[in-house]
Amino acid sequence: MNDNSYQAQTRAIHVAVEPAYLDDQSDPADGRYVWAYTVTIENRGAETVQLISRYWNITDSAGRVQEVRGPGVVGAQPVIAPGESFQYTSGCPLETSSGMMRGRYLMKAASGEDFEAEIPAFLLESPYEKRRIH
């Protein structure tokens, strides 16, 4: 993981996120800023789990909040065995030059138990962000 990685662990499920600003898909003059984020979900436990659904809370720098809920991730509901991981990349457009995402996955353990795995909060920052010192 690099310096741009955000990490959280819930029970034995380790989630790491690396966001990247996509200059070639963004158009600041038109108020369109786009990021990709790569998520790695690692099962550090002794029991197989399946990712059932996701919830995202996306906040732009103007304070507007979008909530996204849905089954699986990138069209999949991956089964992750002990010691294995699942990685995917998705994207997020915003109307502002920065923002933040956080969320959680609903996981189902092989035992049948459902639990939530935290997705760490991570920043969406572009080169167009105007930094201020308070």
**How crowded is residue 2: how many other Cβ atoms within 10 Å of its Cβ?**
5
List the structure tokens of 102: 């956080």
> Considering only CA atoms, which of 75, 86, 87, 119 is closest in space to residue 101?
119
Can you give the pLDDT of all 134 residues of the chain as single tens digits? Answer: 456 799 999 999 999 999 999 999 999 999 999 999 999 999 999 999 999 999 999 999 999 999 999 999 999 999 999 999 999 999 999 999 999 999 999 999 999 999 999 999 999 999 887 655 55
Identify the pLDDT of residue 99.
97
6-125 CATH fold: Immunoglobulin-like (2.60.40)
Can you give the residue ranges of every domain in the chain? 6-125
pLDDT in tens, 40-79: 999 999 999 999 999 999 999 999 999 999 999 999 999 9
High-pLDDT (> 70) share of the chain, %: 94
CA atoms within 13 A on the CB side of 70: 9
Computed over its alpha carbons, how large is the radius of gyration of the chain? 16
C-alpha torsion 116→44→108→50, nearest 10: 120
C-alpha–C-alpha distance, residues 43 and 65, integer Å: 30
Identify the pLDDT of residue 75.
92
